Amino acid sequence: MYALGAIFVSLLVLVGLLRVRVKIGLAMMIVAVVLAVLLGVTPQAMGRKLADEWRRVPLTETTPYLFVSLTALLLLVNVVGHALTQVGISARLAPAMHGLFRSRRVALAAIPLMMGMLPTPGGIMLSAPMVRDAGDKIGVERSRLAAINFLFRHQWEPIWPLFPAVPLIQGMLSISAWQLVSHHLALTLAGTLGGVVFLLLVGIPPRQRRSAEPKAAFFAHVRDFMHAFWPIAFTAVLYVVLDVPPAVGIFLAIVGLLLLHRVAPRRWPGFFKAAKEPDMVMLIFGALWFRLILDASGAVGSVVDFFAQLHLPPLSVVFLLPFLVGASTGVTMGTVAITYPFLMPYIQSTNGPNLGIETLAFAGLVFGLSVSPIHLCLALSASYFETPLPRIVLKVLPAALCVAGAGFALALLWPR
């Protein structure tokens, strides 16, 4: 019971720090220190845990390896975004997206879907101007536009390797990329379908008839789209098909992008300066440190035993724990690092991890993020689209419930 109380206090500290606008990375570091003090975990104990981890598990599952690989991935994603802007691809992407899709409904969803493949901090603002401009022209209510931009941008989070939580979970469960992605795909499909039904099929005036676009212009739009899309697709294919770490894939894509566009080597260092994101580095370090403290203190076993004494249905624990932490923090990777150690007894079995149960856990996380006022993307959306945040949440809620339903369906149907 004490361990659960210590974790609860730590989460309250995190929520409080975020509410007073402390940066998420620094807040996560502070919370890790608070948890270590409350659980009595000394630096020596953490050192022993790291040494034991080094002896027992493969290199790719160790905390230092995860820190280096996830940090490199997150920073290199920023480099890709900067490179696409500097070589002029980003400026051509919006016209290409509008030109490729005849349906305004498809265009409104496709813009944030495309931009969502490049997960940068506050990246929801990459697609927001295009969605707002396109929606205003046809008279779509601002809260609906904000919900469309928010929902469709986040559909890649369960499956896209550029989101650090995906390779983190893969490493924690010691499974292939394809195993994880093939199960999480149900969440992406459910969320997308829910968005289409509840956000696009209602409230969007139909497009007025217009003359057909010349074939030459259409192919130019395809070319511009592919120029922006190939580095992201290249990284994803290497990860899913060959299990190449996403950080390695994105680095190779950056080099290929610079060579393809004949960027002089002397300019390359300027592109890589975009990787300076100290707060994101602290976020990854703090999240992994939090997980290490939980392991070193034995708190995971204590909390699991406490839940067992309450006789709560296992599926409710698996869903509610990530939901509560995700809604309280608004952060994906931090929630995974905090909650998954507790959920491992439910996920792991004698035959290996039960990916139906794990998918339910991630569904709880997605649902929590979709309704969390602390989620940065929701706060930015309310401000930019000039609409009350509760209106956005209410419009996103039906699609988020579809994701939750898909998680429970997979957990119930997947053989144990």
pLDDT at 203: 83
Tokens of 32: 């890790």
Cα distance between residue 174 and residue 56, in whole Å: 13
Strand partners, 352: 349
SS (H, E, C) the chain: CHHHHHHHHHHHHHHHHHHCCCCHHHHHHHHHHHHHHHHCCCHHHHHHHHHHHHHHCCHHHCHHHHHHHHHHHHHHHHHHHHHHHHCCHHHHHHHHHHHHCCCHHHHHHHHHHHHCCCCCCCCHHHHHHHHHHHHHHCCCCHHHHHHHHHHHHHHHCCCCCCCCHHHHHHHHHCCCHHHHHHHHHHHHHHHHHHHHHHHHCCCCCCCCCCCCCCHHHHHHHHHHHHHHHHHHHHHHHHHHHHCCCHHHHHHHHHHHHHHHCCCCHHHHHHHHHHHCCHHHHHHHHHHHHHHHHHHHHCHHHHHHHHHHHHCCCHHHHHHHHHHHHHHHHCCHHHHHHHHHHHHHHHHEECCEECHHHHHHHHHHHHHHHHCCCCCHHHHHHHHHCCCCHHHHHHHHHHHHHHHHHHHHHHHHHCCC
Ranges 30-34, 102-106, 369-373: which has the least confidence: 102-106
Tokens of 95: 């016209």
188-244 pLDDT tens trace: 999 999 999 999 998 877 666 555 555 557 777 788 777 777 877 787 778 767 778
192-203 pLDDT tens trace: 999 999 999 988
Q: Is it the case that residue 123 has pLDDT exceeding 70? A: no
Dihedral sign of CA atoms 115, 116, 120, 125 in order: positive
Higher pLDDT, 98 or 286: 286
Mean pLDDT for 126-148 is: 81
Cα distance between residue 5 and residue 1, in whole Å: 6
**pTM score over 0.95:** no
Tokens of 186: 């149900």
- Mean of the per-residue pLDDT values of the chain: 81
Count up the domains in the chain and report the number: 1
298-321 pLDDT tens trace: 776 676 677 667 778 889 989 988
Long-range own/partner contacts, residues 106-111 (CB < 8 A, 24 or more apart): 107/134, 108/134, 108/135, 108/140, 108/145, 108/148, 108/200, 108/204, 109/148, 109/152, 109/195, 109/196, 109/200, 111/149
Tokens of 248: 């390695």
Cα distance between residue 252 and residue 255, in whole Å: 5
Q: How confident is the model at residue 106 (pLDDT cuts 50, 70, 90)?
A: confident
**% residues pLDDT > 70 (the chain):** 87
341-363 pLDDT tens trace: 889 888 988 788 999 999 999 99
pLDDT at 240: 67
Residue with tokens 């290409």: 96
Cα distance between residue 207 and residue 20, in whole Å: 44
Cα distance between residue 321 and residue 323, in whole Å: 5
Tokens of 349: 């079995």
Q: Quick one: 160 exposed, middle or buried, by C-beta within 10 A (0-12, 13-18, 19+)?
A: buried
Q: What is the extent of the structural domain holding 403? A: 2-413
Tokens of 265: 């080597």
pLDDT at 80: 77
Rg, Å, the chain Cα set: 22
